[in-house]
């Protein structure tokens, strides 16, 4: 049985607020990926759809939605939802089908159409739903959560508002020429610091928007790649979908009320640290092997946490790493060369897929002005609420 899974095609629909049905974005991304792979639609024997919860029944069954929109062929399908980790979950489902021998060529596709303003709970009264309750009882929008994490970083490690602003400055410069980014404008520290507070200490320019967009990848077995004469392809070296270990010592929305370490010893590592650790273990690699990383900068402050959680530096050292230039283009390990969510915004089911698209372009040497020189190993990471880990390592 083949143990290699290759990425042979990637495609995206640009992020923005386009006002169209999410299916259009996903179909555009899928067709771009098929064209990039030079694979006919009829060769796809598995479709892995990343679900969106805001777009009705078609969003809940994204696998069949996209298979039908592209044209029924009898291919197997699956639909996955894991909040912000949805795209990685869908990639992992497709990879598992290929590794098991149940598929040779798979399309993974996700897309979203988002409402204006902050995300809110779906309509209805659900008194036992913690996500619904955090809005209704606590007024806890996502930016409130991001602000709490930023305050935590300030209190524990002495981070400053200027440090958070510097992340935005870096990523705005990275995404300036990215054709798929929604916001392509370079900002200065002063620009960021003059924008209004949304959730202290975070300002408007430090919090990602909600966006429409789509992303797709074509995965295949090594046997298929050999038959097609595809050599030196980008490989999926690992996918981690880790969950927390009890007790989860760094409290996460929407579970904000208890800390079980009063009765039980803390685990060896936090949830978010365990996500990257699982990916490194599967790939047989470590932080020192990385050439770049795409991390989940829902806010500019959260990017600093990820530096430590993927092992680029020790706890409390992220600000110094940022200031040293290590994580900017031209540095040792550029982080978010795509521009990150600060330039894209959230299109939830597409995001983790888009991160893999960026790694693929970088490892192929096709990233244009944002190219990381000599990139051979890249990592993506994000987190879906309710304990969904998400990390993908790609190699060339």
Return the domain boundaries, the chain: 5-117+210-228
Instruction: Report which secondary-structure segment, H or E, holds 10.
Output: strand 5-16
Q: Is the pLDDT of residue 255 over 80?
A: no
Q: Which residue has the higher pLDDT, 251 or 349?
A: 349
Confidence of residue 1 (pLDDT cuts 50, 70, 90): very low
Confidence of residue 4 (pLDDT cuts 50, 70, 90): confident
- Give the chain's mean pLDDT: 94
Rounded-to-integer distance, Cα 298 and Cα 215, Å = 18
Domain 5-117+210-228 sits in CATH at 3.40.47.10
Q: Which residue has the higher pLDDT, 255 or 239?
A: 239
Residue 241 · residue 96 · CB < 8 Å: no
Confidence of residue 170 (pLDDT cuts 50, 70, 90): very high
Confidence of residue 127 (pLDDT cuts 50, 70, 90): confident
Residue from 212, 82, 207 nearest 148 by CA = 207
> ω before 247 within 30° of 0 (cis)?
yes
The structure's pTM equals: 0.96
> What is the per-residue pLDDT for 116?
86
Residue 298 · residue 146 · CB < 8 Å: yes
Q: Is the pLDDT of residue 2 over 60?
A: no
> What is the per-residue pLDDT for 264?
85
> What is the per-residue pLDDT for 41?
98
Residues 138-163: tens digit of each pLDDT:
788 899 989 999 999 999 999 999 99
Residue from 217, 253, 230 nearest 351 by CA = 217
> What is the per-residue pLDDT for 258?
67
Residue from 121, 293, 114 nearest 214 by CA = 114
Instruction: Report which secondary-structure segment, H or E, holds 85.
Output: none
> What is the per-residue pLDDT for 3?
67
User: Residue 211 has what DSSP assignment?
Assistant: -
Phi/psi region, residue 199 (left: phi>0; alpha: psi -120 to 50; beta: rest), is: beta
Rounded-to-integer distance, Cα 49 and Cα 112, Å = 12
**Sequence-distant (≥ 6) Cβ neighbours of residue 330 within 8 angstroms:** none
């Amino acid at each position: 049985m083949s143990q290699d899974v290759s990425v042979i095609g990637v495609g995206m629909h640009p992020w923005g607020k386009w006002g169209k049905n999410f299916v259009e974005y996903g179909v555009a991304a899928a067709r771009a990926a098929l064209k990039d792979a030079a694979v006919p639609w009829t060769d796809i024997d598995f479709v892995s759809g990343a679900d969106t919860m805001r777009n009705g029944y078609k969003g809940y069954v994204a696998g069949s939605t996209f298979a039908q929109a592209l044209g029924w062929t009898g291919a197997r399908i699956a639909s996955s939802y894991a909040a912000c980790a949805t795209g990685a979950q869908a990639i992992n489902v497709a990879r598992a089908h290929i590794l098991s021998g149940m598929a040779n060529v798979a399309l993974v596709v996700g897309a979203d159409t988002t409402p204006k303003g902050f995300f809110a709970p779906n309509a209805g009264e659900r008194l036992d739903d913690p996500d619904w309750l955090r809005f209704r009882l606590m007024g806890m929008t996502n930016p409130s959560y991001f602000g709490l994490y930023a305050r935590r970083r300030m209190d524990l490690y002495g981070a400053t508002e200027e440090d958070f602003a510097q992340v935005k400055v870096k990523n705005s410069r990275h995404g300036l020429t990215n054709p798929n980014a929604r916001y392509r404008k370079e900002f200065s520290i002063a620009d960021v610091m003059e924008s209004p507070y949304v959730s202290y200490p975070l300002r408007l320019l430090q919090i990602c928007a909600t966006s429409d967009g789509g992303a797709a990848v074509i995965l295949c077995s090594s046997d298929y790649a050999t038959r097609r004469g595809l050599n030196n392809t980008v490989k999926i070296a690992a996918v981690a979908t880790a969950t927390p270990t009890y007790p989860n010592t760094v409290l996460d929305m929407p579970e904000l009320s208890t800390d079980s370490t009063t009765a039980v010893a803390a685990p060896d590592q936090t949830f978010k640290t365990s996500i990257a650790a699982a990916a490194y273990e599967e790939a047989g690699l470590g932080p020192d092997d990385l050439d770049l990383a795409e991390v989940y900068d829902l806010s500019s402050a959260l990017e600093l946490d990820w530096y430590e959680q993927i092992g680029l530096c020790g706890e409390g050292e992220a600000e110094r790493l940022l200031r040293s230039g290590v994580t900017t283009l031209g540095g040792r390990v550029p982080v978010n060369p795509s521009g990150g969510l600060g330039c894209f915004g959230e299109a939830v089911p597409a995001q983790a897929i888009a991160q893999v698209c960026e790694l693929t372009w970088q490892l192929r040497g096709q990233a244009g002005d944002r190219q990381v020189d000599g990139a051979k190993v890249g990592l993506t990471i994000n987190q879906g609420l309710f304990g969904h880990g998400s990390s993908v390592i790609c190699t060339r």
